[in-house]
Structure formats: structure tokens, C-alpha cells
Structure 1
Amino acid sequence: MPENRKKVLEVKHLKQYFGVDKPEMVKAVDDISFDIYEGEVFGLVGESGSGKTTAGRSIIHLYNPTDGQIIFNGKDVSSFKSKKEKLEFTRNMQMIFQDPQASLNPRMTVEDIIAEGIDIHHLAKDKADRRQKVEELLETVGLNRDHASRYPH
């Protein structure tokens, strides 16, 4: 990777075990490492049950990792103690699940689904600003602005 690209996420030797010190201990994630750079698309691929979702949950600290280091924008995620630091982190890092049936509410428009995070974190000044942010995000991922008024099905 070119040195002029900013490293956004570093995952170093991540381990996520369940039932530690018990006979039925499960090594759901066992020593994975990778880096993600600004502007890069990253895919974590593996068989069903291989630990992809568990890795994601550990990275965003829905689970406390058994071992390893997660560095986001140069800061060790495990060092975040204050509510403000944790909120800032969750504003910038979130999981997107692959299964659209489980992820997308069929009763909500694409605009409302995309804007959920914008609304939760109060990132839009008004409805027009919200709409503009949604349309920019749609175009960023190669979708037409007209998709905003559609439903996910």
C-alpha cells in the first residue's frame, strides 16, 4: 500500500475466545491481523461459522477481545474510557451485515435506512441536509439518487 495513504484500522493478533479456562472453550477468532487504509474497500471472507461476525463484533467492542490490539485512526480502541470517546468511535465505525433480510427494514425507504445513523448521531442540520447526505452516500457506492425513495425489496 502506498505510504501516502492513511491507515484507518489496524487489527493485530485479534483473538476472541468464549468459555476461557473451561473444557468447552471455543476459539471463535484465533490470531487474525490486517490493516485497512483510507478509501480502501475491505472484505472479510470465510465459510459460515468461521468467525467473520465475531471478528467484527470484537473490533467494534460489542465483545471485549480476549487478546490482540485494535487501533482506529491511530488510537487503541481498548483505551477509550469516557462515554464521549466511545460515542465518537461508534459514530465512525459500524458493522454492515450481509443478509439484507436481517439488516434492512422492508417498511422503510432506502433514505430512512441510510439516514438512521445520521439521525442517531445528529449529523444533519435539517431535512434538506439529511437528504443531501443520503444522496451523496448513495452516489459514493454507485447508486442513483432516485434510489432514496425506494424500498429495499
Structure 2
Amino acid sequence: MTMEEKGAPMLEVVGLKKYFEVAAGTVRSVDGVTFDILPGETLGLVGESGCGKTTTGRTIVRLYDPTGGTVRFMGQDITRLSQGAMLPWRKRMQMIFQDPYASLNPRMTVGDIVMEPMSIHGIPKDEWGDRMRRLMKLVGLNSEHANR
């Protein structure tokens, strides 16, 4: 299927740069990253420790402000949005870190972990269970996995 058949990219990253100023000078953590993700596609960033994978993700979701380049999510340029203007967009974005213990709390059930962002984003509590089950089904998990 061609790009035109799949539709517009869900995420467009063009020339993304993130530099950090340190005592010894400038560290070019991310320098010119470009890619698109179409609806239904998955992207994994792979590389050695310290190569900029996490910085790339944090810059895309605007936990870090980019030094240069453009990030478009669902057709909207989010590159220079204020932190307040980013709030509605963050409800639709997620970054999964390579260290599962940084992302997942082993004391919480799968269901609790899936529902936690719902409280943060103000989704009414009476909707959490249904949404959690729909999301689990979407990624191929059975509802009984929620209690693990």
C-alpha cells in the first residue's frame, strides 16, 4: 500500500534537533532526525546506549523543547506550542520507555496501569473500566489480563 493510499502521516518529524549546553560546550544529542508514521504503523527507535533515542522521544512529545526542526502530529504543527497548548495533544500521545521499570510499576495490575492516565486527563471514573477493556482488546490482550 502506498503512502497516498494509507492517508496523511499521523506523525511527521522533519530535521529534529535537540542540543544541550554544558560546561564543555554544546552536546548535539539529536541532530537532524526525519521520519513519518502513518496510521496503523509502529516505529521502534533502536540504537546503542546514549545515542539519543530517549531524547528524540522526549523532544517529539515536547517534554524537551526542540532546538530545530518540525514535529507535526495529526497534521498540527506542535513544534512551538506552549506547554498549556500542548495539554490536549498530550492526551493523544504516549512514549514507551525502553526500561520497563521506568514505565511500569510491578506493584500495579495491568488494568491499573492502563487506567492511570485516564485519571490524569480527567476522564470520568465510571468510563475507565470500559475504556481499559477496549484498549486492551485493541492491542490483543484479553480482559482477564487486567488483573495480572
Provide the TM-score with structure 2 as the length reference.
0.89
Distance 2:80 2:29 in 1: 23
Aligned to 2:113: 113
Distance 2:82 2:108 in 1: 35
Deviations 1:109-139 (A, max 9, x none): 111101111121123450xx31121111112
When residues 117 and 66 of structure 1 are mapped into structure 2, their CA distance, relative to the original with a 3 A threshold, is same
The runs of 5 or more residues in structure 2 that have no matched partner are none
SS in 1 for 2:13: strand
Aligned partners of 2:9 and 2:38 also within 8 Å: yes
Aligned to 2:132: 134
The alpha carbon displacement at 1:63 in A equals 0.9
Which amino acid in 2 is paired with 1:36? I
Distance 1:79 1:15 in 2: 13
Aligned partners of 2:29 and 2:55 also within 8 Å: yes
Aligned to 2:9: 7
Aligned to 1:43: 44
Aligned to 1:96: 96
SS in 2 for 1:3: helix
Structure 1 runs, 4 residues or longer, greater than 6 Å off: none
Aligned to 2:122: 122
Q: Within 5 A, what are the aligned runs for 1:10-21? A: 10-19=12-21
- Identity fraction in percent: 49
Provide the TM-score with structure 1 as the length reference.
0.86
The runs of 5 or more residues in structure 1 that have no matched partner are none
Which amino acid in 1 is paired with 2:26? M
Count of residue correspondences: 146
The alpha carbon displacement at 1:80 in A equals 2.3
